[in-house]
Structures are given as structure tokens and as C-alpha cells.
Amino acid sequence: QQSSPLPTAEQYVDDLYAQDEQLEFVLQSIRDNGMPQISVKRGYGRLLTLLVKMTRAGRVLEIGALGGYSGICLARGLAKGGTLMSLELREEYAKLAHENLTKAGFGNTVTYMTGEALPNLEKLYAHNERFDFFFIDADKGNYPNYLEWAIKLGTPGAIIIGDNTLLHNKVMDPAEQGNNVRRMREFNRMMAEDPRLESVMLTAYDGLTIARIV
């Protein structure tokens, strides 16, 4: 008798939760448009919603929108009147994300800024925009820069989450010396040592690090 392969812990957790039509729709739209299937996982998305809720964040900034999966999860955590600012390199991704957030009822909650995130972060700072929750999930080589900007743009007590901080376990392999790996190590060190932050790095998923601006 053939036994079916055991699910991974991640699959097991994801299967505990009921289908989520809004998020399934996002994943389908990403597949239909031939976009990369690299949205956060279901359990991870639930963590984002809970963290926004638990911290009562009102102004959330996301770097890396893709099709709006994590955007919906973040927006779900906001209380009435809360806002999400989402930075996305590609016009067509931001357009799809906006359509998906609108379908999910968050069309008026979210604002997209397209193009390279760095100049947009500078613009937000110059316009005196401040945020109390950050989700960093874009190009890995800029993570340390994004972290500096988050610290500048963050209110006291603001939360900063960095995704993919294990970088497929490359960060702990000294043989890996590519730019993204070196920059992610730099980010992880900053999160761990910068006196402006208190943080914890979790080894779930591809690694996620949660910090609070002291």
C-alpha cells in the first residue's frame, strides 16, 4: 500500500484554514497574468493581518506589491480610517494589485506609488508622511537602504517586518557571497544590533524578522 507523502509543516498550517476566496482570486490573477508566484503564504498573510491589528497600526507602508496578496492581508488588519501606502516597481503589477484590493473592498484604503522604491521613500519623507507599520518585501539588495528609510519614516514604536531574511538558507552559508546575500546579512545584522531597534528573527517560511523602533 502506497502512503501519500507527508505535508510540510507549512502546508499543514495552511490547510487548517478555510479557503479564502479573495486571496484565491489574487493568486489566480497572478497566474493568469504570467506574474511570479511569490506572494506570501496563507499563514504568513494571517500573521500580517494579526500584527497590524494587534499593534493598532493606522498607517502601513509596504515595499513590493506584486498582485496585492500581502496588501489585502495588511489592509484587513487596519481599523476604519487606516491607510496603506504600497510601493511597486512595475506599473502593471500595481494596476493589478489595485484592481484586486478594490475587489476586496480596499480600493479607497490603498495608494500605489510606482517605480523604484528608494526615490519614492525620499519623496514620502520630504512630504512629511510618517508610518507606524512597514512590510519590506522587494529587491533584496536594497534591504539595508529600506531599513534606514523605515527608521526615518517610522513613528516611535513603529513595527518593521522584513521578509525572506534567510534567503533560502544562503545567509548562513559562507560560500554564498553574491550581492543579495551580503546585503541580506547586512540587513539581519542591522536588525539585530542597531540601537534604534529591538527585534526578533523567526526561521518560519523563508525567514521573517520583526522589529520595533524604540
Q: Which residues bind ligand SAM (CB under 6 A)?
A: 38-40, 64-66, 69-70, 87-90, 93, 116-117, 137-139
* Beta strand spans in the chain (E): 59-63, 83-88, 110-114, 131-136, 154-163, 197-202, 208-213
Give the residue with the Cβ less far from ligand SAM, 90 or 212: 90
DSSP state of 68: S
- Least distance (Å) from ligand SAM to the CB of residue 5? 26
The residue whose Cβ lies closest to ligand SAM is 64
Query: CB 39 → ligand SAM: shortest distance, Å?
Result: 4
Least gap, CB of 214 to ligand SAM (angstroms)? 26
* Closer by beta carbon to ligand SAM, 33 or else 214: 33
197-202 and 154-163 beta bridge pairing: unpaired
CB nearer to ligand SAM: pick between 80 and 127: 127
Smallest distance, ligand SAM to C-beta of residue 6, A: 26
List the one residue out of 84, 11, 90, 3 whose CA is nearest residue 44: 11
Q: Which is nearer to ligand SAM, 146 or 211 (CB)?
A: 146
Q: Contact 20/46 with Cβ under 8 angstroms? A: no
Rounded CA separation 138/20 (Å): 24
Q: CA separation (Å) from 142 to 8, 25, 115, 163, 175? A: 31, 30, 14, 13, 21
> Residues, the chain, total?
214
The residue (of 57 and 138) whose beta carbon lies closer to ligand SAM is 138
User: At closest approach, how far in Å is the CB of 174 from ligand SAM?
Assistant: 26
